[in-house]
Structure 1
Amino acid sequence: MYSETKQIRKPSWLKKKLPRGGDYQRVRNLISKAGLNTVCQEANCPNMFECYSKDTSTFMILGSNCTRNCRFCNIGFAPALPLDQDEPMRVAKAALDLNLKYVVVTSVTRDDLEDGGAAHFANTIKAIKNTLPNNPKVEVLIPDFQGNIEALKIVVSANPDVVNHNIETIPSLYSTARPEANYQQSLDLFKNVKAIKASMPVKSGIMLGLGETFEELEQTMEDLFKAGCDILTLGQYLQPTKAHLAVQKYYSPEEFKQLEKKARQIGFKKVAAGPFVRSSYNAQDLFY
């Protein structure tokens, strides 16, 4: 369980070297010029330099202000702004300019909207697929839509190639880490996606280091698999600022290997586990 402790020092395996070469600044300039948000920048992702250097990014739609204030997340909690109706086409154009074949789209949570932003997700999926050549793959990392099944149907009916929703942590830590969310509601989302379209690949991610035990992690992985989740990511939680939850444990690369092995024993065929793994990091590698 979570308890306030003094900060513990980062281990050596979390000291990441910046990649050489690539086209980091070009990607950053393109996204900025298009007036788009990315979860890479908003969430201060440790993989941002590497991904930008590989001409990849995760687009974040529905604005940059989130209506929920999760204590682990660096995305801004503020009153939501009006929807930008041109955003789907700008995302598609940026993906075209980057010559992407696999596009990941996520969003802030918009509890202020009746459909939670589902129609905006659907418009973005369609814009990408209608704009990019050669049948691009689109993965959407969606919020829970407050359990609204009709909103979920709107997204699934737009035919993304993967539906991703992060469970984030174990149920006993929800009241601490994400009090405005509901563990069972997220599990139900996976079940509902499969009920709407049984063949749809479903993905989820867990962040480690908030105070969970190995046994609790195993139970959450089993819950996800039983709910219909096909693809799993496991990564280390890193405290964005001193105002956010403190890290309770840094998992070693060996421990991540143990958890990956356990996930495969449970039944997951596609698993990514490691200190720097994030839900959309190298997403195409888990799809193909």
Structure 2
Amino acid sequence: LRCFGESRRGASGLEFYHPEYEFLDGAEAVALDDRLTPVYPATEGLTQQRIRALASQALTFLDRHPLTELLPDDLRRELDQVPLADALRYLHAPPRQADVARLMDGTHPYQQRLAFEELLAHHLSLLVLRQQTQAEGAPSLAPDPALHKQFLSQLPFQLTGAQQRVSREIAEDLVKPIPMLRLVQGDVGSGKTLVAALAALTAVASGYQAAIMAPTEILAEQHRNNFGGWLEPLGIELGWLTGRLTAARRREQLARLASGEARVVVGTHALFQEEVEFANLGLVIIDEQHRFG
């Protein structure tokens, strides 16, 4: 009986827990494989032996039907990347002299080849989506310098250099006739909400509405208080839409959105329900977008 697995010290000495094993017939010793044994991430009902058998079948199929190499040869050589088929063969059947430490760390050149292609495909697909989005066009949103100055004058503090820089970059995006796709990332208290308010002010100054969506009602209410304190003194009407509004209050808020009375609206996922209609929506700001899935 030949066993393979992790050994632990037990009550009666070394013990194997759920080892892989095979029965050996005959008196002669059976030679070990001339390659290392890959260990795959498995799940219930799918054993290592089954995955290895499938991988072996795939490699045999690969011998008869070569893969199409998507990376141009000159680019692949320039980036010092091995051919894709070589990487697949090596990783699913590593030679005995393979650098196991690098394989375990995920830093082996053959692993890096697969990671590179996956990341490249991901970035190219995002680029295609961005090009499709930009082809649709968008209204050009230009800031009102007087309104912008009035907004800043009521703040009890000066904008930081980073807040000014990010606000300027957003303004440069908004004035273009293509949709803006921008992620603003920063620590708690770094001023992301203030930057968002300046962007919303630009939309309002151009005659459009802005929507601010948060994942929870508590966070949405914090935004309503902040945006209300900044924008309402400037005569900008604020809307409020969450799933916990009464039917009457909800109808009132929906009417204000549809008529354009509410220039800026704050809410939860209730903002993108089917019955919600905007008069002239120009900017959508999503707080903690990853929490919306």
| The structure with more radius of gyration | 2
Q: Please identify which structure carries the higher helix content.
A: 2
| Greater relative contact order, per chain length (Cα 8 Å cut-off, separation 6+) | 1
